[in-house]
Chain A
Amino acid sequence: MTRAELLQRLAMRSVLVTLLLALSGCALLIPEAPPPGPATAPPPVAQAEPAPQLEAPPAAKPAAAVKAPPAPEPVAARVAVVLSSSLPAYAGVANQLASWLNDYSTYDLDDGNRSPRQVFAAIAESDAQLVVAIGLKAAKLANTFATVPVVFSQVFNVQENGLVGDSIRGVAVLPPMDLHVEAWRSMDPKVRNVGAILGSGHEALIAEAEAAMAERGIKFHHAIANSDRETLYHFNRLIRELDGFLLLPDNRILSRDAFTEIMSDAARHHVQVAVFNESLLRHGATFSASAVDSNIADKITLTLNEIDKGNIDDIAPITPLSEIKIRANPAMVRVFGLDVSGVEIDTSMAEAQ
């Protein structure tokens, strides 16, 4: 190594340390998130559609236990909570939401007792003033049958399913990309190239990810696919350029074989894989970044209150989340030499190993 290279490396490290220290200090200075309301929403990222609102990161250093935002006010109006099914991802949100609702009824479309039409007829008869739809099926039916404003959550392909309108609003299904990228960067500062493959209709998400990564010196490589074959095709073309791959929950372009091949190829090419679901960690993912049920419930509550106050027009079509839950695969942590201080380790996997 030449002297010039040595000096250059020292300079780079000094800049990096200074930047980290600055970010840490800024994080300490960031005030707690303001209460929800018709406050100013961030401008939409993409012009094609209303961009989701991005919330500021809750902390400079991401952690499993992110500092909690201020508690919302309970909803006074009568609310009907409709679940697509009793999946834990839906039921968890419904349970968290229940503590913020004074008067509510819960309906499960998948319980087999009533047809969707009967469910929504019953909701209409119950004089519910607001409907919360959890899951795509509930959201689509509510958008069709509900006669009162609807707030939906746990839906990924919003645009494709037409869940946009004057009386319908949503809450993001993914945690903020900013937090996601920050967490990744804190675990592995060397990450420089991250890729993702999505189906159509996620321009806002792409923009959000590009911004978050660009801010941290990471180049975001992405491709639009129409099928699992194309996903694999693009993945194979991208893989050589990537340090990490962001696997997003777009069911349209994923199959089990495609997932398996992505995981195995990533491992073969020493590429980290961030997944959206903790359960995928056992299939070789490096870490998972998922939304926190209570955070979703909070955002739904804030949205309901704003609608109840008559401010629906001031609410963004999709309200972003403000918290993230990171879990790491201990085996992959060792493989990639990640710094996981402050990150929750999937202990079940550690025990299993």
Chain B
Amino acid sequence: MKNYARAIFLSVSAATTRALRFLRSRRIARVLDRVSFASLSRAVDRMRSVRIGQALYAAGAAVIDALRPRRRHGKRVLIHEILSLQLIITAIIGALAIAGLYWGGQWVLQDNYSRWALQWTEELNELGSPLYLPDDAEVLMNLETFIDKYPEIERVTYYREDGSVLHSLFNDQASHEPAEHLDRDMTGELISLIATDTPYQMERSIANVRAFEILAPVWTESLQGDGLFDFDPSAEVNHSSVRLIGFVGLNLDFMLFHDRLLTNIKIAISVLLILLTISGFLGRRSLQRALSAISDLQEPISELAKGNLDVQFKPAAHREISEIVEALESTASALGERDARLLKLANHDVLTGLFNRRRLIDELKKEIDKVTAKETRSTLLFIDLDQFKYVNDTCGHPAGDRLIRKVADQLKRSVDDEGIVARFGGDEFVVLASGMNKRKARKLAQSILEDMRRLAHIENNNVFHVQCSIGITMITSDRFDHNEILAQADIACREAKASGRNRLEFYNMSVREAEKMVADVGWMGKLREAIDNDLFMLRYQPIVEIATGRITHHEVLLRMQGEDGKAVAPDAFLPAAVRFGLMAEIDSWVVTHAIEALAEYRKEQPRLRFSINLSANAFETEDLADMVQVNLEKHGVPANAIIMEITESLAVRHLSYVEHQMAALRRLGCELALDDFGTGYSSFGYLQRLPMDYIKIDGCFIRDLVKNPVDQKMVRLIGEIGREAGMKTIAEYVKDGPALSLLGELGIDFAQGYYIGRPVPAPSDKTIPIPISSKKPGRSNLAGA
């Protein structure tokens, strides 16, 4: 048995190895590329030298390893899994077929051997009957002739009635081992078999199906009834008498026949394996072809995921895949359109449609590279409108916006195809003209100036002539980067303004301007470093409720870590941040870190609230509210613990954005404060449009409050208006007790300033001692009141 298993496994393994070699040599082993060829080969080699068990184990491990679904990027690959499944099914069918063939063959063989053995026993029983008579040489000759015909018969033995050996006949090819006397027990058992349905005893082994030993009693039978007058062969019962005359024993070995059949089975198994391999290969090819529609999608989808919207999908033959392809193409198309829209939004100014600052910087960088490479020169014009503020202030911001659009259109016409026009900031425009020398630059600038002089803007029946100042700088190499180029043009523009406006000025670096530019550019680098390396710091200045002296919340103030380790005040770096477009990132940094800090501090001070300053840029980004919400949820801070501050000037100037963003913040649950109220437009009408919770009175009204009756009246008026509008008022720059006391009398709700508390690294809820007079509005020390 072991030999057969080994032989079959050897055949299977050899066939598999040869098949694998063939497939590999033809480079069509992609279908089996996961099969560990080396492992299988090692197993086969090992099997030849060591025990079958180890080899089977190794081969099994190799097959399992081969069939294990491969992962790509940590995930299972569907097609590999299906193909592996097909391989497994083919292997199982093959194994079952081989096992069935082997065991079925064995069973059929043994059954046939049994039948032949019984038939021969019967024939030999009959042939040998005369042996029990006096010697008959012919009988022995017949018996020898008979067993000579069947080499499977090793020995035939006839026993006497008492179990002793009467005759033994051997086949020439068999070993002549003499027969033994049958003992009494055996003869007893055999006698009990007489006239039964199975009048023989057969010994065979599952382990060795080819060897048999059969013993049968030999008996005679005679009918009863002299003359046989009532003999009826068809009757169920015929009275007869039985007489034992001996026993016959056969030793059989079907070795030759068995080996021949086993050879045939091996050939059949080999053919079966070849057929299975071919069918498995063809099935695999068919599956791959059927699944190719899916696998063909993998690369385009991967490209799509990377953002390549120009990806091309192969036309699919299957309806389902075709629908998927159509859907993907539609999605790619929609994404492309949205990308284009977003790209336009990202690169263009919403108001004018001109390039925005970001796109301008990109173009400027390219231009610097181009100039450097081609050794040409280009020019950059920095245009600032004169008296735009006047139009804005007198006719309102919508009028200002209309004017800006008009100016933008005019600039596009003036520049035409000589360069690109960008809106740099509020009323600042930049023209980048490629391949332009100084003379042409001057000519272009003069042309712009001329066109602008002729530009008339009618607003509320008033005609405005908006002129501009132009600063020009030449780009000749990459000696200066884009920030420095912009700074040069800006300086030149300011020079033009200083020189009387409505004129152009080439950049001519004075010492002072050079220092300024260097300082600005230096700040820009520091800011970038601070953003990237978290070098900003937060300070917290308490705001106290005047009536109770209780600190209700803290204003979050931004500081930057200086080179000497000292904190740098925002006045030093914020202008540069605004100029170089870094405010959005700084706002995001402040919001994120303030909420994170608040969450930490609220563990000790659960009622702690923060008031956070935001720039105009923060309100220009559409996802401000989302960003705030994400941070609040991330740190588990309630929205009502946050007050967002925006200066009055920014709120009014960017009213359309601010209104929208404020509404979103309020929906979150945040409170809003209007900072520096009183210094800008101080249009009380805006207070009705802006959904504020707090009005922060600018420090200029508070500094001399005690002495200045006008300031007192202004403060009282703001306080009263705030109350009427349902807003609370906060006074900044409170530097002493009398001022605080007076503020209480003027009806101001909250106070903030050095007297209340300086900005500190960590907030504290310690109550501030409030002067008694401030708690008694009836008692007044108002100057002139």
Contact = CB atoms under 8 A, between A and B. Distances in A.
Interface of A: 87-90, 135-136, 154-157, 161, 173, 226-230, 232-233, 236, 249-260, 276-277, 279-280, 282-283
Interface stretch (B126-134, B157-165, B538-546): B126-134
B385 to A, nearest CB: 131
A279 B232 contact: yes
Contact of B223 (A161, A226, A236, A254): A254
A136 B227 contact: yes
A232 B222 contact: no
Given A255-B223, A280-B231, A233 B129 contact: yes
Interface stretch (B233-241, B351-359, B577-585, B768-776): B233-241
Given A249-B227, A256-B238, A227 B222 contact: yes
Contacts of B227: 89, 136, 154-156, 173, 249, 251
Given A173-B227, A226-B133, A252 B233 contact: no
B779 to A, nearest CB: 146
Contacts of B231: 249, 251, 254, 259, 277, 279-280
A138 to B, nearest CB: 11
B532 interface: no
Contact of A277 (B221, B226, B228): B228
B74 interface: no
Interface in B177-227: 218, 220-227
Contact of A227 (B229, B233, B245): B245
Contacts of A260: 233
Q: Which of B220, B226, B231, B245 has the most CB of A within 10 A?
A: B226
A173 B223 CA distance: 18
Nearest to B224: A251
Nearest to B230: A87
Contacts of B228: 156, 249-251, 254, 276-277
Given A154-B229, A228-B221, A280-B233, A256 B129 contact: no
A256 B226 contact: no
A122 to B, nearest CB: 25
A135 B234 CA distance: 23
Interface string B396-438: 0000000000000000000000000000000000000000000
Contacts of A251: 222-228, 231
Given A233-B130, A255-B240, A256-B238, A228 B220 contact: yes
A136 B126 CA distance: 31
B220 A229 contact: yes
Main secondary structure of the interface of B (DSSP, over half): mixed
A154 to B, nearest CB: 6
A223 B376 CA distance: 138
Contacts of A232: 126, 129
B226 to A, nearest CB: 4
B443 interface: no
Given A256-B233, A259-B233, A227 B226 contact: no
B765 to A, nearest CB: 120
B243 A227 contact: yes
| 8 tightest A-B CB contacts, nearest first | A227-B220, A255-B221, A89-B229, A229-B129, A136-B226, A249-B228, A251-B223, A156-B227
Nearest to B127: A233
Contacts of B226: 135-136, 155-157, 161, 251
A229 B225 contact: no
A253 B243 CA distance: 12
Contacts of A236: 126
A259 B233 CA distance: 8
A255 B222 contact: yes
B126 to A, nearest CB: 6
A157 B227 CA distance: 8
Contacts of A250: 228
Given A89-B230, A233-B130, 17 more contacts: A89-B227, A90-B229, A135-B226, A136-B227, A155-B227, A161-B226, A227-B220, A227-B245, A229-B129, A230-B133, A233-B129, A249-B231, A251-B224, A256-B240, A259-B231, A277-B231, A282-B234
Interface residues of B, number: 25
Q: Which of A87, A226, A227, A229 has the most CB of B within 10 A?
A: A229
A251 B230 CA distance: 11
B223 A256 contact: yes
Contacts of A90: 229
Nearest to A155: B226
B64 to A, nearest CB: 61
A251 B222 CA distance: 6
A230 B130 contact: yes
A323 to B, nearest CB: 18
A135 B133 CA distance: 32
Contacts of B230: 87, 89
Contacts of B243: 227
Contacts of B223: 251, 254-256
B129 A230 contact: yes
8 contacts: A89-B230, A90-B229, A154-B227, A229-B129, A233-B126, A256-B240, A259-B233, A260-B233
A252 B223 CA distance: 6
Nearest to A248: B228
A290 B225 CA distance: 17
Interface string B689-730: 000000000000000000000000000000000000000000
Contact of A252 (B222, B238, B245): B222
A223 to B, nearest CB: 11
Contacts of B224: 251
A252 B130 CA distance: 17
Contacts of A230: 129-130, 133, 220
B129 A253 contact: no
Contact of B229 (A87, A256, A283): A87
Contacts of A229: 126, 129, 218, 220, 245
Interface in B101-153: 126-127, 129-130, 133
A227 B133 CA distance: 11
Q: Which of A154, A233, A250, A282 has the most CB of B within 10 A?
A: A233
A38 to B, nearest CB: 28
A115 B225 CA distance: 20
Nearest to A160: B226
Interface string B28-71: 00000000000000000000000000000000000000000000
Contacts of B126: 229, 232-233, 236
Nearest to B221: A255
A257 B222 contact: no
A135 B229 CA distance: 10
Contacts of A255: 220-223, 238, 240
A229 B221 CA distance: 8
A161 B133 CA distance: 23
B222 A253 contact: yes
B238 to A, nearest CB: 5
Nearest to A157: B226
A155 to B, nearest CB: 6
Interface string B237-251: 010100101000000
A252 B222 CA distance: 5
A173 B224 CA distance: 17
Contacts of B225: 251
Nearest to A137: B226
A103 B113 CA distance: 70
A290 B688 CA distance: 145
B229 A277 contact: yes
Contacts of A87: 229-230
Nearest to B232: A279
A59 B126 CA distance: 44
A230 B243 CA distance: 13
